[in-house]
Structures are given as structure tokens and as C-alpha cells.
A and B are shown apart, each in its own frame.
Chain A
Amino acid sequence: QVQLVQSGAEVKKPGASVKVSCKASGYTFTSYYMHWVRQAPGQGLEWMGIINPSGGSTSYAQKFQGRVTMTRDTSTSTVYMELSSLRSEDTAVYYCAGGPTAWNYWGQGTLVTVSS
């Protein structure tokens, strides 16, 4: 079955960077675009950007332009999301998601806490 398994929780200081991974299995890795979305505590869902695992092309939400970088490693079927210049407002659960129709598949989420 399809699985997206994300890396574990992170605690970072303001100004640092974080890199979250999402390992895909159960399907052909290059078949679906992969999105990243985040959810601050008690808040709604916020789209961050998309990566095409086939060619590696990316597109980022304007809010995160210049601070986010999405990459992939086809040899391990893994996509990565790196967010830099972290601030307290970046404390959230970060999800990878994708699929053949809308976002059928989701990772379990990675809690990133930004605190001094």
C-alpha cells in the first residue's frame, strides 16, 4: 500500500534551518507531484509548495519564496523540504501529500518547534 513516512520531530532556535524528509513507498515515486503543507497549532492548513519528483521542478507559495527549498532523491524515493530563517511563527506540523487525484496520500506529519 502507499505510504509516506516523514522524519521525526525537530526543535530549532530562531534563525536556524530545518529539513524534513518524506519517504514514499508502494507506488512509482515519479508518478505524482508532491506538496508540502503546514498547520500551526489550532489553525488551518497552509500550502507551501510543490515538487515534481520526475524532473525536480518546484513552485513555491509566494509567502515562502526565498525561505523554502524542496528537493528530491529518486534513488531513495524521498522528497525534502528545507525551511530557513526560522521564527516562532513557523512552529507547526508539516505534512507532505500527493496522489493521482487531489491529495490521496499524506505523511503522518512532522512537528517543528521553533523556540529560544
Chain B
Amino acid sequence: EIVMTQSPATLSVSPGERATLSCRASQSVSSNLAWYQQKPGQAPRLLIYGASTRATGIPARFSGSGSGTEFTLTISSLQSEDFAVYYCQQYNNWPPEVTFGGGTKVEIK
């Protein structure tokens, strides 16, 4: 099983500042990497897929980079609505294998 490790577990950031979240895979996942945002009581929302492609309707302040085993989600200027938990996910539709990282909570500093 591919293990996904996210760091840090918690990130304290002031509104308007830049946030950088990391995700590492235990073996190469090529670019089959997605990022999701989850707010309390809500289902996750897809932000980035293919490691760097923004999903429909996602603001340009969200960007993803990386390939292989090292990935980064950057939020260029944090807005109040961005404080949430972020998960990375490696995915392969068939043969299916899906694992999530443990999440990074972005909180207000």
C-alpha cells in the first residue's frame, strides 16, 4: 500500500499570508495526486487533480506542484474561507488504489 504523509499537521497562518502544505508518497504516484479541502460538517471539495490542475471553480490562489513522491499545495494569500483541513490523495482508477494523507489543518494565527 502506498502511504501518503502530510506535513505539517497544523499550520498557523495570518490572513493574507502564503501557506505551503506538503505531501510525500512512499513510492512514486506519477501525477495521480489530488488535493481536497474540508470544512467542519461538510464533504471534502476537490481543489487540484493531476498534481497541478485546478478543478472547476477553484480560485487561482490555489496551486499545486510536484510529481513522483513530493507534492506541494500553495495558497498564495489566505482568505478567511480558506481555513480548513486539506488532504492529499493518490488515486489510480483501475486497478484501483486510493490512499489519503492524514491531513493538514490550516488555522488562523
Contact = CB atoms under 8 A, between A and B. Distances in A.
Interface of A: 33, 35, 37, 44-47, 49-50, 59, 61-62, 95, 97, 99, 101-104, 106-109
A45 B87 contact: yes
A47 B55 contact: no
B43 interface: yes
Contacts of B36: 45, 103
10 contacts: A33-B94, A44-B101, A45-B44, A59-B96, A61-B98, A97-B43, A102-B34, A102-B55, A103-B89, A106-B43
A106 B46 CA distance: 9
Contacts of B98: 35, 37, 47, 50, 61
B46 A104 contact: yes
Interface string B35-72: 01000000111100110010110000000000000000
A102 B102 contact: no
Contact of A103 (B1, B34, B99, B103): B34
A14 B76 CA distance: 47
Interface of B: 1, 34, 36, 43-46, 49-50, 53, 55-56, 87, 89, 91, 93-96, 98-103
Given A45-B36, A103-B46, A108-B43, 6 more contacts: A37-B100, A44-B101, A44-B102, A45-B87, A61-B98, A99-B46
A101 B43 contact: no
Contact of B53 (A35, A37, A101, A108): A101
Given A44-B103, A109-B43, A101 B93 contact: no
Given A95-B43, A102-B89, A107-B43, A50 B96 contact: yes
